Structure 1
Amino acid sequence: MANLPQSFSLSGASFGAPSSSSSATTKDPRTMASVEHLVLQLSNPDLRENALHELSKKRELFQDLAPLLWNSLGTMAALLQEIVSIYPAISPPNLTPAQSNRVCNALALLQCVASHLDTRMPFLNAHIPLYLYPFLNTTSKSRPFEYLRLTTLGVISALVKVDDTEVISFLLSTEIIPLCLRSMEMGSELSKTVATFIVQKILLDEMGLKYICTTAERFYAVGRVLGNMVATLVQQPSCRLLKHIIRCYLRLSDNQRFVK
């Protein structure tokens, strides 16, 4: 798929994680001043679109962008306004490429907030991921919707990448498992891979494994989707996707209730 979101690394399990290497960040005062200026512009509807675009490109160059976004007056409200403004375009599905690109730039900044140690839990405590779930409940396979789906999954993957039981507990209290299963069934290869990665990380947590294996319905729902994906890989091989599927199966096998 062309023109993928910049927020994804295609290697290993780096989905949704900004680079943490010192070479990827800068403390250049000019860059910091530029970023701070752009953050202020997010609160101005007339300047917001350009600010979203520029910040989404520069977010890995400024290691303190997440706290700046979270603590700047009106900034998170402006990002949420971008999210909810396209709800009417997803049902019935008439999302345009321009709308998709703009909201995905906002999602990329939310992913930055979800990735940062200082803002991850406030982000969850504000229940902001729930605003994104409608984007995972779509069924259109058009490019604007796939771009939206993939970038939304990037925000969730940024949360689960760092092993934290509190994060898993929050996600399990929502409908994240069915939403990920939907993406695993009908998304592009990359969307399927990121969604499977999220399920894998949930399974690796003891609470997540217990949740999925508590009822036969949940266990077999996950198993059915994984099985269908394996069958699809016969025609469309993907080593990256297969790796995460196998890791899910391996973790499910740790539960003796359903593997005897």
Structure 2
Amino acid sequence: MANLPQPLSLNPPFPSGPAATKDRKLSIPEQLVLELIIPEQRENALLELSKKRELFQDLAPMLWHSFGTIAALLQEIVSIYPVLSPPTLTPAASNRVCNALALLQCVASHPETRTLFLSAHIPLYLYPFLNTTSKTRPFEYLRLTSLGVIGALVKVDDTDVINFLLSTEIIPLCLRTMEMGSELSKTVATFIVQKILLDDVGLAYICATAERFYAVGRVLGTMVASLAEQPSVRLLKHIIRCYLRLSDNQRACEALKNCLPTMLRDTTFHAVLRDDQTTKRWLVQLIHNVSNAGNRLQTLQPGHLDPLLTG
């Protein structure tokens, strides 16, 4: 039998006396993690750990390997399922569960615990939050923090992560948020779709059927139209990158000839992208790819569509 990692001991005899002040400070994260499994102390421990998680080294392995901690975090998550529908989530309850989600994001980000996090299928516990439609602040905060956990998973290029996510309903859930979320939630959800597309497995999956391609294309097009009225450079950047990656697939590129928004082909966003040279180049390449769909031997040469780069 393989040697399994032993749970961390969170009950060492703490030193006492003035000489032990430094050691006592080093034990703060361990003490807070221990308090997560004590119901009466959990709320404060969640708040303190989520606020200071960047300061605590190896917090993710500590959370994962300590006895009962992940179960306590999941208990916080499932405890608010009943208030999702009908939507009666309070700001206080939203803040508390978002603190738990912030700790799960820490686990999802760490190279030692990321695979374990996926193997336990913990992202699935977050999907009910992404499936909500209420636009009140408690729900928006909940969706955004949940998306942050998924975003942490895809931030590091890993085909295993993409394969896992594609085996779930993450694409429809992201598309839902891209349609009805706040600007920040839309941006994170679009980033997740972008990272899935940038993986060869993800691109092949989305372009495998017309239904998947047009589902993604329709939502991207809707967002482009809305950005013409309320511009957002950071959101537009991710949208254009998604379109550009879709154009790497021959069939998708040919389809984009008919469904790429006109506003991306004309001067609608020239002023918005004036100071973003990278996104302007992506847009130039996108327009070139779509214009030359069916002739994959052509490559973009310097000087193509110069008015866009200099406008």
- What TM-score, normalized by structure 2, do the two folds share? 0.74
CA shift at 1:258, angstroms?
A: 2.5
Note closer, same or farther for the CA distance 1:215–1:75 as it changes in structure 2 (3 Å cut). same
Shift of 1:235: 1.4
Aligned with 2:128 (options 107, 120, 134): 134
Q: Which residue of 1 aligns with 2:138?
A: 144
1:186 corresponding residue in structure 2: 180
Tell me the residue number matched to 1:98. Answer: 92
Match of 1:154 in 2: 148
Please, which of 108, 112, 118 is the counterpart of residue 114 of structure 1?
108
Among 192, 198, 203, the residue aligned to 1:198: 192
Aligned residues: 233
Deviation, structure 1 residue 41: 0.1
In the other structure, the counterpart of 2:117 is 123
**Corresponding residue for residue 236 of structure 1:** 230
CA apart distance, 1:190: 0.2
Q: Work out the CA distance in 2 between the residues paired with 1:106 and 1:29.
A: 27
Where do 5+ consecutive residues of structure 1 fail to align? 1-27
Instruction: Report what 2:50 is aligned to.
Output: 56
**Quick one: which amino acid aligns to residue 176 of structure 1?**
I
Deviation string 1:202-251 (CA, Å, 9 cap, x unpaired) is 00000000000000000000000000000000111100000000000000
Identity over aligned residues, as a percent?
81
Q: Decide whether aligned partners of structure 1 residues 31 and 151 sit closer, same or farther in structure 2, where only a CA change above 3 A counts.
A: farther
Indicate the residue corresponding to 1:210 in structure 2.
204
1:61 partner SS: coil
**Residues in 2 aligned to 1:108 and 1:184: alpha-carbon distance in whole angstroms:** 21
Q: Which residue number in structure 1 is paired with residue 31 of structure 2?
A: 37
Q: Mind listing any 5+ residue stretches in structure 2 that lack a counterpart?
A: 1-21, 255-311
Write the letter of the residue equivalent to 1:227.
G
- CA offset at residue 32 of structure 1? 3.1
Calculate the TM-score normalised by the size of structure 1.
Answer: 0.88
SS, match of residue 102 in structure 1: helix
Correspondence for 2:250:
256
How large is the Cα RMSD of the aligned pairs? 0.8
Does structure 2 retain, via aligned residues, the 8 Å contact 1:213–1:255? yes
What is the CA distance between 1:147 and its match in structure 2?
A: 0.2
> What amino acid maps onto 1:124 in structure 2?
L
Query: Counterparts of 1:160-171 in structure 2 under 5 Å?
Result: 160-171=154-165
Amino acid at match of 2:80: I
> Displacement of 1:109 after TM fit?
0.1
Distance in 2 between residues matched to 1:30 and 1:178, nearest whole Å: 48
Please, which of 61, 68, 72 is the counterpart of residue 62 of structure 2? 68
Q: Residue 22 of structure 1 aligns with which residue?
A: none
2:196 maps to amino acid: I
SS at match of 1:43: coil
Q: Cα offset for 1:31? A: 4.1
Q: Which one-letter code corresponds to 2:33 in the other structure?
A: V
> Which one has the largest radius of gyration?
2
Within 5 Å, which residues of 2 pair with 1:3-14?
Answer: none
Q: Does the 8 Å contact 1:104/1:151 carry over to 2? A: yes
Matched residue SS, 1:257: helix
C-alpha distance in 2 between matches for 1:236 and 1:154: 24
Deviation (angstroms), 1:56: 0.2
